[in-house]
Amino acid sequence: MLISRHKVASIHYTLTDDSGKVLDSSSGREPLAYLHGEGNLIPGMEEGLEGRKKGDKFKLHITPEKGYGVKDPAMVQKVPRAAFGDQKIEKGMQFRTQHGQVVTVTETGLTEITVDGNHPLADVALNFDVEVMEVREATAEEVAHGHVHGPGGHHH
């Protein structure tokens, strides 16, 4: 069975950046199960997995455009330090804004704090080592929900 729209695929993967640093891996965990063709994975992953079958092992190089996007400079903002009150602010800290957006502190100045609302992997080229562990038909309920149920997927 080949991976195509509304098949459920289970994959093991290791994600590295172009310097070889491991950013994420399913190693030591259950494989990642997802419903194909519903945008559950980044576009470059879904494209690279299309037509693959159980047992296939391959590498994918994914540009930021097909990954987590390119950085939007408008999402980098300077905020007066006073807005954080007495809180100690350090580079790398993350906050959720009142709009629910997650921002990361990228610079701390005396009077201003710079926060970045871009995805942490925006502008990063992604290298995936992938192994397809299983491919099956999705259930009608999974198709209706647009995501996987059961092991490796959503539980609800």
Binding site for Zn ion (CB under 5 A): 145
Nearer to Zn ion, 99 or 156 (CB): 156
Nearer to Zn ion, 116 or 142 (CB): 142
Distance, CA of 8 to CA of 66 (rounded, Å): 21
Nearer to Zn ion, 6 or 145 (CB): 145
Least distance in Å: CB of 156 to Zn ion? 6
Least distance in Å: CB of 31 to Zn ion? 19
Instruction: With CA atoms as reference, report the closest residue to 83 among 104, 103, 107, 111.
Output: 111
Least distance in Å: CB of 35 to Zn ion? 10
Nearer to Zn ion, 119 or 145 (CB): 145
Q: Are strands 7-16 and 126-137 parallel, antiparallel or unpaired?
A: antiparallel
* Residue pointed to by tokens 């992604």: 126
Residue nearest to Zn ion (CB): 145
DSSP output for 37-77: TTT-S-HHHHHHHTT-BTT-EEEEEE-GGGTT----GGGEE
Least distance in Å: CB of 153 to Zn ion? 8
